[in-house]
Amino acid sequence: MTTPMRAGDVIAATVTKVLPFGVLVETPAGVPGLVRGTKAEVGTVVTVRVREFDGQRFAASQV
C-alpha cells in the first residue's frame, strides 16, 4: 500500500533516528523518509516539504 504524496507537499513526520547528516523520519501512515541537514531529537514531530517520493520512501527538507 502506498500513500499519495507528491513533491512539494508539506507534511508532519516523527523523527525515528538521528544521523550525522540529518534525521530519519516516519509519517503517521508509516512512510519512512530522510531529512538532510536537520537537527532534532528522536520522537520530535517536524514539519517537512517533500522533495522526492518513489512510492515507498521520501526525501524532504525541513520547513
In a domain, 47, yes or no: yes
What pLDDT sits at residue 1? Answer: 44
In a domain, 30, yes or no: yes
In a domain, 31, yes or no: yes
Record the cell numbers describing residue 38, joined without a space. Answer: 536537520
Averaged over 20-46, what is the pLDDT? 96
**Residues whose CB is less than 8 angstroms from the CB of residue 41 and which lie 6 or more positions away in sequence, other chains included:** 15, 18
The residue range of the domain holding 45 is 10-62
What pLDDT sits at residue 4? Answer: 81
Averaged over 28-38, what is the pLDDT? 94
pTM above 0.85, yes or no: yes
Record the cell numbers describing residue 63, joined without a space. Answer: 520547513
In a domain, 27, yes or no: yes
Q: What span, in angstroms and rounded, lies between the C-alpha atoms of 18 and 13? A: 14
In a domain, 3, yes or no: no
Averaged over 42-46, what is the pLDDT? 97
CATH of the domain at 33: 2.40.50.140
